[in-house]
Structure 1
Amino acid sequence: MSVVPEPAVSKPESQAGSPNTRTRRTVIASLVGTTVEMYDFVLYGSAAAVVFAPLFFPQADPLVGTIAAFATFGVGFIARPVGGVIFGNLGDRIGRKQVLVLTMIGMGIASTLIGLLPTYETIGVAAPIALVALRLLQGVAMGGEQGGAFVLAAEADGTSSTRRGFLGSWPGVGMAGGLVLASLIFGAFARLEPEAFLSWGWRVPFLLSLVLVAIALIIRLGIPETSVFKKAQSEEHVSRFPLGEMLRSHWRKILLIVGMKSGETAAFFLIATFSVTYGVQFVGLASSDVLGAVLLAALVEMITLPLWGALSDRLGRRPVMIFGALFMAAFSVPFFLLLNTGNISLYYIALAIAMGLGHGPLAAPAGAFFAELFPTKVRLSGVSVGVQLTAALAGGFTPLIATALLASTGNFLTVAGYIAALAVISLIATILTRETNSRVGAVHLLSE
C-alpha cells in the first residue's frame, strides 16, 4: 500500500548520502514539520484567547465567551486520539514518511480555511459550527503528526544510537519553534488598531500557513524512510493490524505514557495558551506584552530541550523526567505569585523558568523514551495513541479548566493545585516505568 508515490528510479543507498547526512535530513524534516504543525495548532489557541470570543460567540458575556472559545480549542484535542489511531496504525503498516506527509496536508487545509471563515455577524450560528469542524480536522492531523515525528527522529540514527535522547528532542524543539512563530506573527498583527485586527489582521497568520506547509512538504518528501522500518519490512516483521496487536500486548505501556506525559502536556498549554488569557483578563496586561513573554519562554525551551535530551542519553530518561515533574509541582504556586505581581518583567521570568526547567526536562526525553518502549511493528501506534490520549485528557482542556476554576473560585491556587497534581501523576508514572536507555544498563526494544 502506498499513499505518496516514490520516484520511478531511486538512488542506491550508497548515493543517498552518508548515514550522518541521512540522519540529519530526517531530524530536520521532523523539526520543520512539527514547527509548522504546532504553529497552526497554537495559533488557534492564541486566537481563542483574544479573537474568537467576540467574533464567533458575541452573544455571550466576555467570560462565558472566552470559555466557549477555549471549548472549541479543546475540541481539537478530542479529535487527536482519533488521528493517533488512524495514522499510527497506518504508519506501522506503510511507513513513517508517508503518514507525516498526509498529516501536513490536512493541517494546512484546516488552517487556511479558518483564515477564510466568515464570522457570526455574517453567517450566524454556522460560523462557530464551521470553526469547530475545522478544529476537529486540525486535531486529527495533529494526532498523527506528533507521534510520527517522535518515532521518525528516534529511528533516524538506527538501532544502536547512543544519542537517541538528543535526536528525539528535536521534534519538541520544532513544537517550541511553532510557538515562537505563532507568537511572533500573531503578536505582530495584534499590534494593529483593534478594529483592523478584529476585521482582517487575525486572518493573515492563518493564511500564511499555506506557505509554511508547502516548504515543510518539500523537505519531508525529500527524506528516505527510516532504516529501522525498512528493515522490518524486508524481514516481514510488519504487522497486519498494528493497533490491535499494540492494544493486546502493550496496553500497560499506554497507561504509563498517559501518566508520564500528563504534567508536561498541561504545563505546555498553561504557559502557551492560558497565560495569555490570564495576563490580559485577570492581571490587566496588554496582549502584545503577554505574547512577548510566551515568545521568550519558547525561545528558552528551544535552547534547553536538546540539552535535556543529551543529558537523558548520559543519565537515563527517568532521572531527567523525574526532575522535571518535581520542579513543575514545586513551582506551580510561585509561578502564579510572579504572574500576579502585574510586573511584565516578572511575567517573562515566570514563563521562561516554567518552560525551561519544568516543561523542558519532562518533554525532551519523551520522544526517545516512548519509542524505546515498543517494538518496531507497533511503535507508531503505541506512541501516537499514548501521546494523543494524554493530549485529550490533560492538554486541550487545561485552558478551559483553568478558566473555569478561576471563574468559580476566584483563587489562582485552584489552578496551581491542578497543575501540581498532574505533575505528581507524571512523577509516579515515570517512577513506575523501567529505564530504556541502554547506555545506563537498560535493554530497549528499538531493534526488535
Structure 2
Amino acid sequence: MNNSPALRIHTHCQVPQKSQRTDQILSKSMAAPTHGQTAEDKARKHNTVYTKWAGCAKIKGSSPLQHLIGLISLKPAIAHICIYPSVSGNFNKKQKQYFNMKNVLFLLLFFTTFYSFAQDLEEFTNQITTTKTQKHKRISGTKVFCIAPSNYEYVKELARYQRKDKLYFQVIETSGSSFTEAKSNFTKEALRAKGITDDGILKNLFLNEYNCVYTEGPSKYPGETKLIMAFGDDDFLVFVAGVCKNSDDEGKKELQEIFKTIYYDKSFNLNPLELANFEFDESITGFKHAMSMSNMIIYTENGKSDLKNPNAGALMNIAMMPQMSEMKAEQFANDLPWRFEKGGAKLKNRDIQKEKIGGFTAFILDTKTEIESKEGILYQVLLVGDKSSILFAGTADRDIESFKAKFKKTVQSIRFK
C-alpha cells in the first residue's frame, strides 16, 4: 500500500525504527523450523538464516542467469510463500537450454508451494470483478491495488502485510515475466508429470479480464494454511499469497475477501526500483535493469532481453535483506555457497572473507565456478548496514577478471538510502 514505510530509490530518508511488535514478528518469522531437518541441515545452522528455502535450486540450467535462481530464492518475501520443495529437476539438456528465467521463477513458486494440496476449492469464486475505488490502496512495488483491514501492519523487512504472527498476505509482481508463457506449467497435466495427482488443487478463474489460478491447502509447516492466487497476461505475472492457522476459519475468510478486492492497474507508471533502499553507480558495468521482484533487482548486460536468453553470460543480483547482527550475517554468508551448489554449480572455494566496505562489515565470497563444464566467476557480498543488509551477487562466464573488477567496484559504490 502506497502509504507504507517502503523506501523510494529517489528519496533520501531514514528507515523507521522497528516497533516491539515488528521485532516480535521478525524474530518468529525468520527462524526457520527444524521440523523434518536432517542432522546435516542443522549443522548448517538453517535455524539462524533468514529464509525457509531449502532446495528450490535443484532446478538446473546452463547459464549463470539460471543458476542465480538459487540466490533469488533466498528473498524473504519469496521464502515465506515457499515450503520445502519436491522439485526433481530432471530436465534433459535441450529442455535446460530453453528453460528461461520466467518459467523458473514461476515453477519455483508453483511447485514449491502447491505440493500435495487436497482441498475442495468450489467455494471460491469463478470470477473476481473489481473496480478501483478510493478505498483501494496500492501494494508497494506493484501495480496491484486492494482493500485490506486497517489492522494489517506493513512489515517492511518481510515485504508483507500482517495482522498477527500467522495471519498475513503479500503481493509480488515480477516485471519482465509472462503469465501466459508460464501458464503451461499451471495445468493438471503438468502437475501429474511432477507426480502431483490430486485434481482438486487448482481452480481456474478470472480476475477482471485476466486469467487467474487459485489454490489453498496445508503448508508443510505444522498448523499453517496457505492461500495462493496467480494472475496476469502476456506482459506480467502477479502472485498473491496469504497465510493463516489451520484452525483460523475467520482469518482464512478474511484473506479470501482481501483477494477478492484486488484490482490491477496496468496503466500505472511503476518505478521498478520503488522498493530499493540503496543506490549504486550503474555506469561501472553498464548493465541494464532486467527484472524486479519485490525487493530483489536483477541487472544484465542487455536488460530484459537477457531473461529469454539461456546463454546470458553476466548479471548482477541485488537483494535487500533485513538488518542482521554480524554473527547471524556471517552464518548466513557461510550458508550461501551450499545453496548455490545445490543448483549444480561447482565452486572452486567456499571461503568467506570478512572485510570493511564503505565503513560497513562485508562477508565476501570470491570464487571461480564451473557450470556444466563452463568456467565462470561468482563475486558475492553480504553487506551489513545499520538498518538493513544487502546481498550482492555478480556472475559471469567470460571476461572473468574484467567483470570481477567491475563487480568489486560496483559493490564499493553501493550506498544505503
Query: Does TM-score exceed 0.5, indicating one fold?
Result: no
Higher strand share: 2
| Structure 1 or 2: more helix by fraction | 1
